Structure 1
Amino acid sequence: MISTLLVANRGEIARRVIRAARTLGVRTVAIYSEPDADAPHVGEADRAVALRGSTSTETYLDVDQVLAAARATGADAVHPGYGFLSENASFARACAAAGLTWVGPDPAAIEAMGVKHTAKALAREAGVPTLPDALLDTDDPGDWARAADAVGFPLLVKASSGGGGSGMREVRSSDALADAVRSARTEAARSFGDGTVFLERLLDAPRHVEIQVVGDAHGRVVHLGERECSIQRRHQKVVEEAPSPVVSPALRERMGATAVALAEKLGYVGVGTVEFLIEDAEFLASDASKAALLELPEFDFFFLEMNTRLQVEHPVTEEVYGVDLVALQLAIADGEPLPFTQDDVRPRGHAIEVRLYAEDPAAGDRPSPGTLHHYRHDDTLRWEDALGTSGEVSAFYDPMIAKVVAHAPTRTAAARKLAAGLAHAEIHGPTTNRDLLVAVLRDPDFLAGATRTDFLDTHRDLRTPEPATPRLVHLAAAVAATTAARRAHDPRAPLAPPGWRTLRNTPRPVIRWAGPDGEVAVSHRLDATGLTLTVDGIDHHLGLRDLTPGTVRLTLDGVEYRCRVAQHDGAAYVDDGEGHSTWREVPRLPAPDAAAGGAGPVSEVPGTVVEVLVREGEHVVAGQKLVVLEAMKMEHPALAAADGVVETVHVAVGQYVDAHATLVTLGVAE
């Protein structure tokens, strides 16, 4: 029986496992890298062990350090969470060899499903439908072309190992095949230590639907319905829900039976997920008041892969089916039989989960690591937080801040509840995808169930949604609260009213403020009648009913807005019941831009150099890729801004660089 559990992970999943273990009376051990020394999961465990290093490879992927932590704390079991070592069969075997209970499936099952092209072969043997595919086992582009013709275009080049969208390239014509194969192989080798890739027929706009399976050591396997995870960016999920808005009871039974058949063929013990792609019918969602599904034919579904671990989106299944999947994992690892049969499994209501990331949807989902100054939300939703009320979004790991889940009797009610809870949260620090998530949840097409994998591509306007509160109101709140804060700390303030000046006709100072839509020139006057803002030469008058350094009540066009204003690191963060924005006074003498003098491209985010594509003395053209960085599970190419000659390359492959570091110096071409 498990008594002390080492959690071989970090962030929100480590916290989730620790909570479940505590409810079962199981002691927990956390491990942490140097950047995670103050992370919440460290303090929430009963014991913690520091790992030497900062990157994933140096710490959470270092099997020797993880096993040493288990020995030092007397742990008798290991829960890997997801990501990192969770699908590493060698690690599972090493745990068993060290006398530790592995909370997961048998290593043989992990290996069988860990290589995608062999997993598809096993799925076919189990009667699971699959898409056409072909393994590329030579270096001959002619062989690749013949394989592609057999599979058919469009197709995907896919890494056989790993996941998360890495090592994957979309190909629509034979002309692009060779470059895509080479690029996918390079990324797969770097990310997973295995450059093997295969081709698979691409469905242009399918649904991504997965079945949760659970098997015990006594030969029983059941499924816990489906989750739909079709809304994605970079082949990574952003919004997940259960049940799917289009899966009927009959289709659920068919898909569930095939998933169970595959798990039984593997002799699967533990919690796992069988993922499918579903060919979809068209949706009618042009009129939000009348949006409804068209009459749908019976779907065709195809095996995608099997994840032999807990999924990020597991909470929606827990909410709909009333189970604790982590507690179930621990019980199965202890040899207990499943406490329910397939006939006991019935969905209840609807659950939706979104992934709150520190990233900028308007800039291609670029990660935005940095300090989370203040983070607060209510308890109407299920928040699976990676951080506490403040913290650091590290550039070394995934930029997830939290998973946020709503459960309600209907899908529409769950979406409404989730959108409102997200909108009301206070998140001060890095740019996040919160506005995108709220916009998705309120979009008529989403509410009609038209959630295919091309959703974000066909709804690009959701990346920069219209603000819920007029920008002028938030700018006024930032100006007024900043002024109030200065007066509160100015010993001369009680001697003069707001806006008082020595000479009556002296012009008010003009200050440039940077906000969500760029910079504006602002002057202001506070008096008994309210607040007058002059923005880019245009006067605006707002009523002012209350003002402190932290709260402002403003009236614009007869509507009152109650704003909360917090100041961190020179920025004013404004929140009200529906909207939020960040404002910063622009220094009169800004610091010089490292790239402004023609030095060359700089790193947009801190990261590790994975490719240097130019040499000193080489002529380059505008837009040419010079260096590639990897940060927070993404590649970030640095491009030449203009034609020129490479004078100096400042970085090398494997080097870690800070944000805004100059990567290459370019000179003028002769």
Structure 2
Amino acid sequence: MAKIKKILVANRGEISLRIMRTAKEMGIATVAVYSEADRLSPHVLFADEAVCLGPPASSKSYLLGDKIIKVCKELAVDAIHPGYGFLSENADFARKVTQAGLIFIGPSPEAIEVMGSKLAAKQAVAKYDIPLVPGTEQAISDIGVAKKRADEIGYPILIKASAGGGGKGMRIVENEEEFEEQMHRAVSEAQSSFGDSAVFIEKYISSPRHIEIQVLGDQQGNMVYLFERECSIQRRHQKLIEEAPSAVVSPAMRKAMGEAAVGVAKACDYYGAGTVEFIVDGDLNFFFLEMNTRLQVEHPVTEMITGKDLVREQILIAEGKSLSFSQEELKIHGHALEVRVYAEDPKNNFLPDIGRLETYRRPQGAGIRVDDGFEEGMDIPIYYDPMIAKLITYAETRDAAIEKMVRAIDDYKIVGIQTTLDFCKFAIQHEAFVSGAFDTKFVENYFTPAVLAQHITEAEMELLSALAGEFFVKNKPSESLKSEQRSAQESAWRTRLR
């Protein structure tokens, strides 16, 4: 068994901070990497050591796997945690890490490869009797053959890129007349987005729920599931609000989904933390969608209801230790919600917004957690995902968790950019969400920019005017002071920033 003494976090922002905090609690030293755009980011200042990788563009910084490994060698690093995004699901990078004699805090390269291809994943899990959406088992390119299979499945059907994700390389086909055009578009988009033109066909479930199961497995073959997360409220096929547990999953369904998820993980000899995603139809039938071979953005809600630190478990598993708990010992306690605070304008089709966090004040109180990577006065970089923070609330019941989230959103003060907070407040108070009767079409069915045009009372207007005046008065004379403080801060850290 290898004892990890120093971890390099090959990521940025809130997830880097979140990983480093657990590492520090475990007595493990940390190394941050950063681009020139992130020089003064909190994750850089929090780490024991920090190294600049290059210019802001990810291709010239956070995606430089060979350079990251070189840094590890120079700084006597034992292990690399990839977080999520960037290199986290790159099998070649994971392989190079292990070949360099380092520990990759994640699954094996082989497991990443199998689950990185939707077709390979479906083939791998077939022998485990996992429910699959009806469709093709192989990549398909012949239009005639594809049309015939679509007729057999029945319209509407979905053409999907095998290497796809985030909604890219996906085309819904309502009837045979539009099949050929949509097929060509899907193939073209798959090639341009992923460098892989392979597509396959499956039945389109028109109004599904997106429910996922968290799994943990050690290198001795032990595997558990840590229950489900409801992730159905999305925009552009990407999640905005998550909760655990789901409002519609019964104990029997939870057990069936959990056991299916364990089967998926065992199909690729998985170890580490992973998430098995399912789509669920209107009759609550569930079907395997894909497996994410990394820590998920929404992992905090699972931590809140189970009391397990998933990053800690990842590190222990990477050291070769066995799971310290069994499936029978895992219980659901209370309810947790997470809203993603994006620098996006919901009133303008959720387009990214850029600018400076002129005011940034986090909500506080029992049962409130904020995972973020920004401070007041920082700019939101245009080079990366526009997520500012994850706001999580926890309470004994779902209703109480919702009420706490409404209060937390009201207490979250962000001035300078548009965010998704107002949308999230609208969504969690909507009858469909409160009742649990919602699916991935929530935004399409219930949201319009007009719902956010709330009436501002005279008292609220006076308060806003007072805050604006206070900011104007304080901001002007403090600019030089802020500049001096930042220069001093940067100077103090210069010996550690390479």
Q: Which among 207, 210, 233 is matched to residue 208 of structure 1?
A: 210
Q: Distance in 2 between matches of 1:115 and 1:347?
A: 32
Q: Percent identity?
A: 44
Q: Identify the residue that residue 223 of structure 1 maps to in structure 2.
A: 225
Q: Identify the residue that residue 190 of structure 2 maps to in structure 1.
A: 188
Q: Structure 1, residues 226-258: CA drift from partner, whole Å, max 9, x if none?
A: 111011111111111111101111111111111
Q: Distance in 2 between matches of 1:54 and 1:183?
A: 32
Q: Identify the residue that residue 310 of structure 1 maps to in structure 2.
A: 295
Given the alignment of the two structures, is residue 373 of structure 1 paired with residue 375 of structure 2, yes or no?
A: no
Q: What SS is found at the alignment partner of 1:277? A: strand
Q: Identify the residue that residue 30 of structure 1 maps to in structure 2.
A: 32
8 Å Cα contact 1:34-1:52 kept in structure 2: yes
Q: What SS is found at the alignment partner of 1:224? A: strand
Q: 1:315 to 1:348 in 2, by over 3 A?
A: same
Q: Identify the residue that residue 457 of structure 1 maps to in structure 2.
A: 444
Q: What SS is found at the alignment partner of 1:430? A: coil
Deviation for aligned residue 1:347: 0.1
Q: Identify the residue that residue 418 of structure 1 maps to in structure 2.
A: 405
Q: What SS is found at the alignment partner of 1:259? A: helix
8 Å Cα contact 1:156-1:171 kept in structure 2: yes
Deviation for aligned residue 1:143: 3.8
Q: Identify the residue that residue 115 of structure 2 maps to in structure 1.
A: 113
Q: What SS is found at the alignment partner of 1:392? A: coil
Is the strand fraction higher in 1 or 2?
Answer: 1
Q: Distance in 2 between matches of 1:129 and 1:135?
A: 13
Q: Structure 1, residues 139-196: CA drift from partner, whole Å, max 9, x if none?
A: 5433442343233322222221142222223222233333433333333333333232
Q: Identify the residue that residue 481 of structure 2 maps to in structure 1.
A: none
Q: Identify the residue that residue 544 of structure 1 maps to in structure 2.
A: none
Q: Identify the residue that residue 174 of structure 1 maps to in structure 2.
A: 176
Q: Identify the residue that residue 154 of structure 2 maps to in structure 1.
A: 152
Q: TM-score, normalised to structure 1's length?
A: 0.68
Gaps of 5+ in 2: 477-498
* Equivalent residue letter for 1:459: Y
Q: Which among 336, 339, 355 is matched to residue 321 of structure 2?
A: 336
Q: 1:365 to 1:174 in 2, by over 3 A?
A: farther
Instruction: Choose between structure 1 and 2 for higher RCO, CA contacts under 8 A separated by at least 6 residues.
Output: 2
Q: Identify the residue that residue 633 of structure 1 maps to in structure 2.
A: none
Q: Identify the residue that residue 264 of structure 1 maps to in structure 2.
A: 266
| Equivalent runs, 1:247-286 vs 2, <5 Å | 247-281=249-283
Q: Distance in 2 between matches of 1:351 and 1:313?
A: 11
CA-atom RMSD in angstroms: 2.1
Deviation for aligned residue 1:262: 2.1
Q: Which among 369, 391, 398 is matched to residue 404 of structure 1?
A: 391
Q: What SS is found at the alignment partner of 1:32? A: strand
8 Å Cα contact 1:383-1:404 kept in structure 2: yes
* Equivalent residue letter for 1:60: Y
Deviation for aligned residue 1:279: 1.4
Given the alignment of the two structures, is residue 234 of structure 1 paired with residue 239 of structure 2, yes or no?
A: no
Q: Distance in 1 between matches of 2:343 and 2:474?
A: 17
Q: What SS is found at the alignment partner of 1:260? A: helix
Q: Identify the residue that residue 134 of structure 2 maps to in structure 1.
A: 132
Deviation for aligned residue 1:267: 1.8
Q: 1:568 to 1:176 in 2, by over 3 A?
A: farther
Q: Identify the residue that residue 369 of structure 2 maps to in structure 1.
A: 382
Q: Identify the residue that residue 199 of structure 2 maps to in structure 1.
A: 197
Q: Distance in 1 between matches of 2:335 and 2:240?
A: 17
Q: Distance in 1 between matches of 2:162 and 2:280?
A: 21
8 Å Cα contact 2:139-2:162 kept in structure 1: no
Q: 1:136 to 1:147 in 2, by over 3 A?
A: farther
* Equivalent residue letter for 1:336: K
Q: TM-score, normalised to structure 2's length?
A: 0.90
Q: Distance in 2 between matches of 1:417 and 1:410?
A: 11
Q: What SS is found at the alignment partner of 1:315? A: helix
8 Å Cα contact 2:216-2:225 kept in structure 1: yes
**How many residues in Structure 1 have an aligned counterpart in Structure 2?**
472
Q: Distance in 2 between matches of 1:243 and 1:396?
A: 34
Q: Identify the residue that residue 596 of structure 1 maps to in structure 2.
A: none
Q: Distance in 2 between matches of 1:475 and 1:69?
A: 53
Q: Structure 1, residues 207-244: CA drift from partner, whole Å, max 9, x if none?
A: 11111111111111011111110111111111111111
Q: Structure 1, residues 21-72: CA drift from partner, whole Å, max 9, x if none?
A: 1110111111111211221111111111111222222221221222122122
Is the helix fraction higher in 1 or 2?
Answer: 2
8 Å Cα contact 1:374-1:390 kept in structure 2: yes
Q: 1:204 to 1:4 in 2, by over 3 A?
A: same
Deviation for aligned residue 1:350: 0.4
